[in-house]
Copies of this chain bind each other. A is one copy, B any other.
Amino acid sequence: MPAFIFDLDGTLVDSVYQHVMAWHAALRECGFDLSIWRLHRRIGMSGGLMIRALARELDMPLDEAVIKRLSELHEQEFKRRIPSVSPLPGARELLAELRELKIPYIIATSGTTADAGPMLELLGRPDENIITREDVKRAKPDPDLFLTAAKKLHAKDVEAMVVGDSVWDMLAARRANFLGVGVLSGGYGQQELEQAGAFRVYADPEEMRRHLDELGVREE
C-alpha cells in the first residue's frame, strides 16, 4: 500500500496566490518590481532560496539584511491575506478518507510552523502530523523535507508518493526517489508538472480522492 506526503500551500489549501501577492508587495516595499508570474513560478521553494534565485536571475544585489526584511514583510503581508484562504475542494475529505482506510500520510511544507498553523486550522486538523522548514536544513527543491517526512511515517516498507502543486515538489520527489502526484490547484499547467516528473496529475484534492484506485489505494 502507498503512503502519502502532502505539500500544503496550493495542494491542500488555496493559498498560493495570496503568497504570490504577499511576496510581490514585500518586494515592492523594498524597491524591487518583479513580474508576478515569475514569483508564482518560484512559490513552493523555501522563501530564502526563492529570494536568492530571483536575485540571481535578475542580477539584483541582495544582502542578508534585505533578505531578512523581505521575509518579515512577506509574513506580514501574507497574514493580512489569510482571511481569503479556503481549504481546497476535497482536501478535508481526502485526508479523512485516508485516515479511514488507515493509509499513512503526513504534510511537508517549505513554509514555517507559524505559516502552517492557520492552514492546518482551516483543514480542521490543528494537530496534524507535519514537517516544516524548521525541521530540515534545506527546503524544496532539495529532497530533505520529503525524506524526513518519510522517515517520520516509517515509510521504508511502503511506497511513498509526494502530492504537490509545484514543479519544485515534483523535482524534490524525484530526488528523494518517490513518485510525484501533481495537482493543478496551485496554478501550474499540467504539462509543467508532467515534465517535472509527475506520475499522475489531478485538478485538485477532490479529483485525486475520486481516483485513489489509480494510486494503488484499495478499499481494503
Contact = CB atoms under 8 A, between A and B. Distances in A.
27 contacts: A14-B36, A14-B37, A16-B36, A16-B37, A17-B17, A17-B21, A17-B24, A17-B36, A17-B37, A17-B40, A21-B84, A24-B84, A25-B84, A28-B84, A33-B86, A35-B88, A35-B89, A36-B187, A37-B184, A37-B187, A187-B187, A189-B189, A189-B190, A189-B192, A190-B192, A191-B192, A191-B195
A20 interface: yes
Nearest to A24: B84
Interface residues of A, number: 28
A186 interface: yes
A204 interface: yes
A204 to B, nearest CB: 6
A190 B188 CA distance: 10
Nearest to A40: B187
A97 to B, nearest CB: 19
A84 B36 CA distance: 10
A109 interface: no
A185 interface: yes
Given A24-B84, A36-B187, 19 more contacts: A14-B35, A14-B36, A16-B37, A17-B17, A17-B21, A17-B40, A25-B84, A35-B185, A35-B204, A37-B185, A37-B186, A187-B187, A189-B189, A189-B190, A189-B191, A189-B192, A190-B192, A191-B191, A191-B192
